[in-house]
Chain A
Amino acid sequence: MMAKHEAGPSIALKKPRRGDIPRHELVFLWISRVFIWFVIALTLVPIWFVIEAAFNPTNAYFSLTLFPTHPSWANFHYLFAQTQFMLWVKNSVVIAGIVSVGQVVVTSLAAFSFSRLHFWGRKYGLMVLIIVQMFPNFLAIAAIYTVMAKLNLINDIWAYILILMGGSAFNIWLLKRYFDSIPRELDEAAYVDGANVWQRFTRVILPLSIPMLVVIFIFTLMGAFSEYILAGTILQTPDHYTLALGMYGMISGQFAKNWGDFAAAALLSAVPLAVTFGLLQRFIASGLMGGVKG
């Protein structure tokens, strides 16, 4: 584990107070601030445009205003009444939910054995898994499609779930580093007290790793939500459409007609995930850097 230092002062010797900043650093600070504000504006303006479009019932998108001129819920009403939005959400939630739970289970089992157990192949096993994983399975699209077609599994939602469910070597690696940071004495003490391997895993390691398990759950959930290539290959009929397929169909080629409704759908589906992500920001940052050997 690397040493964690207080956020920020990597150069200053002691935390400076407002009063004693040298003049040239003050100038530099304000230039930095203005630059950051500019970048933040550039970053957030597109998001604001989408929010605005969601509440803008007229189709006068081109007219640039800071706020919608006659804000209303019309696009949201249309979305629920006239499109299959709720069905897409349901399909996506079911698929992404099952896939994420499955991945967390598979990942934590494997990460535990890499972190705590002796077995042949331990030294290079994770490296081999990572190499295998470097070939994302959607690159084998021709193989997957033809096999599914021959097995008559095209348009089968469970086949799609199963394909996404495969263990993720990257997640195993992230979680293993987290397990490694839990003191071994804890679960060894439990072992001495008569706990078996399974109890060590479920009673000691897992409860201490909940933040990281949640991060992996969210990563997988977001990945499954955004998965298009295999969904487009396997799921063919509109009743099996996920948000990815439904929303792609909504905007592609018929932009002028659907932009407001699309924006409303984007808002409804992005906000819950974005808020969750924001709340977990701290865990995500430390999880990514956690075990990098410094």
Chain B
Amino acid sequence: MAEVVTTKPTVGNRVAMRGKRGQKLAAYGFLSPAIISLAVLSFLPVLYTIYIAFTNFDATHFLSHQFVGFQNFIALFNPSDPLFSVFWPTMEWTFIFAIVATMANYFVGLLLAVILSNPHMHESAVYRSLLIIPWAVPGLISLLAWQGLLNQNYGQINGLLHFFGIAAVNWLGVPFWARVSVLMVNLWAGFPFMMTVTLGALQAIPPELPQAAAIDGASKVQQFRYITMPQVWKLSLPLVIPSFAGNFNNFNAVYLLTGGGPPRPTNEFVGYTDILASAAYKMTLTFNLYDWAAAISVILFIIVGCLSYINMRYTKAFEESDLT
């Protein structure tokens, strides 16, 4: 801190000399609303969730729950326990959903961004404004609207298929198509964000780089593969990993479209498209099994925590220089 200050011009020096302690106090004053609200609203609930996960807290034990140690977590790994059959299939689908959704959004966004940055396409700004519309519609409204559009009997998507002579699909009623629908709608709503991010990254690449490669004899494909792509990837990664973590907990994308359904014949608690976040919601509000919900949430915390750590480690986007 001190060295930085001394290298500053005299104005900065005088400023730094005056009331450093006052500034420190002011800093905590400015920070306190954010710190207090984050502590009370994010940190305490997480701690309490961890506590509940080690108890038998449910509707029948609402006033008299007891500490049960690792019992809920042992149940998660015990194949004969009902919690096992709730957790693992849901976990598997959560991972598939988050990975496929994020990759699909990224690659479709990137493909469109590359096409739109073609310098010969003079009207690309118009296309960009049109393609960004799904992002501009609040997710709640578009997801619920998709629920209607994909209705088997009356939905206009089946109407469109009928027009092309394709038989109606039971989009939200069959496990396979319900999962396809969740991914498809997520792609529809999610690619504009990735397109905006990758377009920004493409424009931030100094034009000298591909030019130099071209002079060295690299073809267009090679320039893209070895110059453009790594740069875009580096610039967009700090936003891609949070988006993966976001999809991992994308409650709305599932619950507002399918409600988690169609139901599994073997299991009354979760359906075929339920992800862990919607499972925790149902455990709490529908079945009043707070201990199970909390145990699932704790596993989610651990997974999301690891992802965040990787994000911090590899992108360094949130690390602060000491003081500039």
Q: Which residues of A contact B (CB under 8 A)?
A: 2-5, 7-13, 15-16, 21, 25-26, 29, 32-33, 35-36, 39-40, 43-47, 49-50, 52-53, 59, 61-64, 105-107, 109-110, 112-114, 117-120, 122-127, 129-147, 149, 162-163, 165-167, 169-170, 172-173, 180, 184-185, 188-189, 191-192, 197-198, 201, 222, 225-229, 232-233, 243-244, 247-248, 251-252, 255-256, 259, 262-263, 266, 269-270, 273-274, 277-278, 281, 284-286, 288-289, 292-294
- Distance from B118 Cβ to chain A, minimum over Cβ atoms (Å): 6
- A35-B115, A127-B312, A127-B318 known; A62 and B139 CB under 8 Å? no
Bound-state Cα–Cα, A292 to B202, Å: 13
A173 to B10, CA, bound (A): 30
Bound CA span A118–B49, Å: 35
Contact A273 B49 (CB under 8 A): no
Looking at B23, B158, B309, B322, the one whose CB has the most chain A CB atoms below 10 A away is: B23
User: Interface centre among B27, B37, B162, B284, by most A CB within 10 Å?
Assistant: B27
Count A/B pairs, Cβ under 8 Å: 379
Q: Chain A residues with Cβ under 8 A from B100's Cβ?
A: none
Docked-complex contact B206 and A5, CB < 8 angstroms: yes
A110 in contact with B197 (CB, 8 Å)? no
Main secondary structure of the interface of A (DSSP, over half): helix
CA distance A110 to B40 in the complex (A): 16
Contacting pair B207 A145 (CB below 8 A): no
Least Cβ–Cβ distance between A217 and chain B, in angstroms: 14
| In the complex, chain A residues whose CB is within 8 Å of the CB of B160 | 45, 64
Q: A118-B1, A143-B48, A259-B148 are in contact. Are A188 and B15 (CB under 8 A)?
A: yes
Q: Which residues of B contact A286 (CB under 8 A)?
A: 200
Q: B134: shortest Cβ distance to chain A, in Å?
A: 6
Contact of A62 among B132, B136, B159, B196 (CB under 8 A): B159
CA distance A132 to B181 in the complex (A): 32
With contacts A49-B156, A229-B281, A256-B153 taken as known, whether A141 is within 8 angstroms of B293 at the C-beta atoms is yes
Q: Contact: B117 with A262, CB < 8 Å?
A: no
Interface presence of B216 (CB below 8 A): no
Contacting residue for A25 out of B120, B132, B308, CB 8 A:
B120
Whether B269 sits at the interface, judged by CB under 8 Å, is no
Choice from A33, A130, A180, A227 contacting B308 with Cβ under 8 Å: A130
Does the CB pair A131–B11 fall under 8 Å?
Answer: no
Residue of B nearest to A141 (CB): B284
Rounded to whole angstroms, the CA-CA distance of A32 and B120 in the bound complex is 11
Report whether A131 and B308 are in contact in the complex, using a CB–CB cutoff of 8 Å: yes
Contact (A143, B235) CB under 8 Å given A5-B206, A11-B119, A110-B30: no
Q: A142-B293, A147-B48, A262-B145 are in contact. Are A61 and B155 (CB under 8 A)?
A: yes
Provide the bound-state CA to CA distance between A109 and B307, in Å: 28
- Which residues does chain B contribute within 8 Å of A137, judged by CB atoms? 41-42, 45-46
Determine whether B137 belongs to the interface, using a CB cutoff of 8 Å to chain A. Answer: yes
Whether the Cβ atoms of A10 and B323 lie closer than 8 Å is no
Say yes or no: is B57 at the interface (Cβ < 8 Å to chain A): yes
Cβ contacts under 8 Å, B15 to chain A: 188, 191-192
Give the shortest distance, in Å, between A45 (CB) and chain B (any CB).
7
A179 and B193 alpha carbons, distance in the complex (Å): 23
Complex alpha-carbon distance, A180 and B323, angstroms = 11
Interface of B with A (CB < 8 Å)? 1, 11-12, 14-15, 18, 20, 22-24, 26-28, 30-31, 33-35, 37-38, 40-43, 45-46, 48-49, 52, 57, 62, 112, 115-121, 124-125, 127, 129-142, 144-149, 151, 153-160, 162-163, 188, 196-197, 199-207, 210-211, 220, 223, 228, 235, 238-239, 242, 245, 249, 251-252, 255-256, 259, 277, 280-281, 283-285, 290-291, 293-294, 297, 300-301, 304-305, 307-309, 312, 317-324
Q: Are A29 and B20 in contact (CB under 8 A)?
A: no
Contacts of A229 in B (CB 8 A): 251-252, 255, 277, 281
User: How far is A34 from B97 in the complex, measured between Cα atoms in Å?
Assistant: 30
Known: A43-B134, A110-B31. A294 touches B155 (CB 8 A): no
Complex Cα spacing A162 to B40, Å: 10
| B148 pairs with A143, CB closer than 8 A | no
In this complex, the member of A122, A124, A262 whose beta carbon has the largest number of chain B beta carbons within 10 angstroms is: A122
CA distance A40 to B322 in the complex (A): 46
Partner of A140 from the list B38, B49, B238, B323 (CB cut-off 8 Å) is B49
- Cβ A197 vs Cβ B23 within 8 A: yes
Task: Give 30 CB contacts A-B under 8 Å.
Answer: A8-B203, A11-B211, A35-B115, A36-B116, A36-B127, A44-B130, A53-B148, A62-B156, A113-B31, A123-B322, A127-B320, A131-B312, A135-B304, A138-B281, A140-B48, A142-B283, A143-B46, A143-B49, A146-B62, A162-B41, A163-B41, A169-B34, A188-B15, A222-B139, A228-B256, A233-B281, A259-B148, A266-B144, A270-B141, A281-B129
* Residues of A contacting B321 in the complex (Cβ-Cβ under 8 angstroms): 123
State in angstroms the CA–CA spacing of A93 and B14 once bound together: 47
Given contacts A46-B188, A191-B15, 18 further A-B contacts (CB under 8 A): A3-B206, A7-B117, A7-B203, A11-B220, A43-B131, A43-B133, A44-B133, A110-B35, A118-B1, A131-B309, A131-B312, A136-B249, A143-B294, A166-B42, A222-B138, A225-B140, A232-B285, A289-B201
Q: Which residues from B are CB-within-8-Å of A273?
A: 136-138
Closest Cβ of chain A to B41, distance in Å, is 4
Contact flag A248-B144 (CB < 8 Å), given A117-B30, A166-B37, A189-B11: yes
